[in-house]
Structure 1
Amino acid sequence: MSSTDFATLVRDDRVLTPMYTDEAIFEEEMDRIFKNTWVWVAHASDVPTGNTFKTSWVGREPVIVTRDKQGKIHTLLNRCRHRAASVCEKRKGKASVFVCPYHGWSYDVDGKLRKVPHISGYGEGLDTDDYGLVSLRTEEYNGMIFATFKDDIQPLVEFLGSAKKWIDLFMKQGGGYGVKTLGEHRFRFPGNWKIQLENTTDAYHFPIVHKTFLDSLDPEAENVFQVLAHGGWVEDLGNGHSVMVMIPDLIDLEDNLDAPIPQRFEELAKELAAEGMPDDQVRRVVRAVGGSGFNLNLFPNVACSMAFFRVLRPIEVDETEIMHVAIGMDGGPDAANRMRLRLHEHFQGPMGFGTPDDAEGWERVQRGARAGQDLWVMVNRGVDAPEGVAAPGHNAGDVSAETGMRAAYQMWKRMMTA
């Protein structure tokens, strides 16, 4: 048990530098946070039918997310109960059984131990009911699947709280169809997981870090992405969650469908119309293709970020894995999903204009944090919310405020001192 007084590390408007660099703090986070709250593990479309699976992580612990033949979703520790070998190494797929490659113990997709080779060698000392894969509590909200080690935790819908509204709005980018994952790419950066957590609701950096992205756009699109100029805001949603609204006109993708179709989507609209899609549906699909006008941060590890999921996985105190998941329309037109992928590649992709610049910024924060361990990291921008930004009873600041970071760190403090 760490002797650190975690409460002293977080003030209302700043956090102490060892939050990024101290290995003992990191190890405590893995236990006190990632093993004691709801952690995002998959989207429902990753396990679309019975006997499908996806491997994932809860903190640093590998898991398998499965859907059984009855449609129930399970999250199972990816560890054979015999000698600890992983029982699944594929990212995703279809399987009716998981077989440990070391000694052949086999498990059903709900985790039950099915068969033990040469079981007579155990005499009467092995009850197969006692040796299934360890199953975590698993719940789903609007396609978002979360798991937890804590059996007596509050229900997922209570944990999400005010964030549920924003999840529902985000899923409207199915354009009248369902939402599905289209693909993902992963990379690591040499920095602490909380550095990336901060970034998702940080509009202050956008015109500086992402100038090359803005320069790559046509004038109409460039104006849309001038995120500091459209009256947006950042809001604390409780339990460490927050939302950053960058483009208020794109909060609800089913509003304002009569607006002119943006230049960059004119060819797509023509293609959909040529396929026989009625005009109202064309407009709904085209508006959804560009994504939502906000980033939703769900503590501790996932963001619904404009048009994709961003998932973080802590590796070490100074190493974090990021997974960017492109999403599209389940059953929607191929042309629309192709456009979704091209837009994803333009910013989030490994050769895109956004992600490499973000990652360099995160790395520089970690590098700089090695200097001055007694210095504070400031998250005080927008502490005094301007008039008209926050509705009564809401903790919000303008779009450049660091409200989301303060929300996450207050949740961190609450969990680390519980």
Structure 2
Amino acid sequence: MESQSSTPNVADLIQSDRVHGSVYTDEAIFQLELEKIWYKTWVYVGHTSEVPNANDFVSKSIGPQPLIMTRGRDGVIRLLLNRCPHRANQVCLQAKGNRGSFTCPYHGWTFSNSGELRGFPFPDGYDTADRSELGLGQVNRVAEYKGFVFGSFADEGPSLEEHLGAGGRDAIDRLVQTSPEGEVEITAGFLQHRAKANWKFIVENETDGYHPQFVHASIFSIAKSGIGDLYSNDSTAVARDLGDGHTENDLRPEFRRIDKPMNWFGTDEARLPDYVEKMKAAYGEEKAREIMIDGTPHVMIFPNLFIAEIQIFV
């Protein structure tokens, strides 16, 4: 008897105008997505400002794989697997902190914050062990663009800049240039939600321009006088496919039509005089005005980084 493969044929589940519901519920499809997407492509993990000092760390993840993002004494940011190579126990239980080493709470194995095994109790029992083979695992490739740190488990493949493409790089560029210093920090903390839902719902929703005037009607009724009818039938905003899964709700046409600096933020120049002067000093009056009219992007960088004005969603 021939055994049938348990790997689903995803192409059979997708039509030009619809997809089969199983792409959101089938465990086999989810496992395939982990293999082909989450453990292969570049995934946003964190921001350099979260680990500004030597020995700083924050707990992160790529898909269901827990990680520790650390900055070593050498200044290098690494993504360590938060899993002891001894018995697979979680090594670090803290959300963030500053430490030069991590000790597994199960059997006391200790690792440097660059991943090397430093020691373990009862060493005579491991007198033939090669310590160089017993360190914490690491994400194979780590790269950052304008402070945004990404990781990829793949040994090789497109560079981060190739993954982002012109559209993704432009979106991050537009975000950081709203700062007179040309960089941003993500230091205000996080609001976390746990939802029992397929990850693709989030990706699809974040740049769905169809729902805001209904789902977020109360917000827009309050903000209408400040930012206009961004998602109304008369809006000049457009949805864009940036390629490779990246998408954007480009609100710039509407903000340019309104032609008022800082309108995207629901305010005006008169209320932010110090910021306006710093922007003009950094970019010149004409460029600063252009930036302050366009505002920040509303973009989904596949598979998990959503930049919505001044908010970062993961």
Q: How many residues align?
A: 302
1:16 aligns with 2:20: yes
1:202 corresponds to which of 208, 221, 242:
208
Deviation of 1:81 after TM superposition, in Å, equals: 1.3
| 1:127 and 2:130 correspond | yes
1:188-240: CA deviations, max 9, x gaps? 2232111111011111111111111012226233x164465332222222211
CA contact (8 A) 1:2 1:28 kept: no
Cα distance in 1 for residues equivalent to 2:279 and 2:150: 38
CA contact (8 A) 2:262 2:292 kept: no
Deviation at 1:84, TM superposition (A): 1.4
Aligned to 1:219: 225
Structural RMSD (CA): 3.1
Q: Deviations over 1:380-407 (max 9, x none)?
A: xxxxxxxxxxxxxxxxxxxxxxxxxxxx
Q: Distance in 2 between matches of 1:111 and 1:57?
A: 16
Residues 62 and 227 of structure 1: CA distance in aligned 2, closer, same or farther (over 3 Å): farther
Aligned AA for 2:248? V
- Alignment equivalent of 1:230, drawn from 226, 230, 235: 235
- C-alpha distance in 2, partners of 1:23/1:227? 38
Structure 1 residue matching 2:242: 3-state secondary structure:
strand
Give the match's secondary structure for 1:145.
Answer: strand
Do the aligned residues in 1 keep the contact of 2:264 with 2:295 (CA within 8 Å)?
no
- 2:245 maps to a residue whose letter is G
Query: Normalization by structure 2: what TM-score?
Result: 0.85
Closer/same/farther in 2, CA of residues 248 and 110 from structure 1, 3 Å limit: farther
Please point out which of 282, 291, 304 is paired with 1:301.
304
Equivalent residues in 2 for 1:148-297, closer than 5 Å = 148-162=152-166, 163-176=168-181, 178-181=183-186, 182-217=188-223, 219-221=225-227, 223=228, 225-226=230-231, 228-248=233-253, 264-265=267-268, 268-269=271-272, 272=274, 280=280, 292-297=295-300
Instruction: Report the more deviating stretch, 284-293 or 80-89.
Output: 284-293
- Structure 2's unaligned 5+ residue stretches are none
Separation of aligned partners in 1, 2:199 and 2:118 = 38
Distance in 2 of aligned mates of 1:68 and 1:192: 35
Pairwise CA distance, 1:268: 4.0
The aligned counterpart of 1:325 is none
Q: Which digits, 9 at most, give the CA deviation of each residue in 1:244-288, with x for residues without a partner? A: 20243659xxxx897899874567426x48xx9679469999998
2:299/2:307 contact within 8 Å kept:
yes
Higher relative contact order (Cα pairs below 8 Å, separated by 6+ residues): 1
Q: Indicate the SS of the match to 2:192.
A: strand
Amino acid at match of 2:173: D
1:101 aligns to what SS in structure 2? coil
1:120 aligned counterpart, secondary structure = helix
- For 1:151 and 1:76, locate their aligned partners in 2 and report how far apart those are by CA, in whole Å: 15
SS of residue in 2 equivalent to 1:111: coil
Residues 49 and 85 of structure 1: CA distance in aligned 2, closer, same or farther (over 3 Å): same
Indicate how the Cα distance of structure 1 residues 279 and 240 shifts in structure 2: closer, same or farther if over 3 A, else same: closer
Contact 2:299/2:308 (8 A) holds in 1? yes
Unaligned runs of 5+ in 1: 312-418
Q: Indicate the SS of the match to 1:198.
A: helix
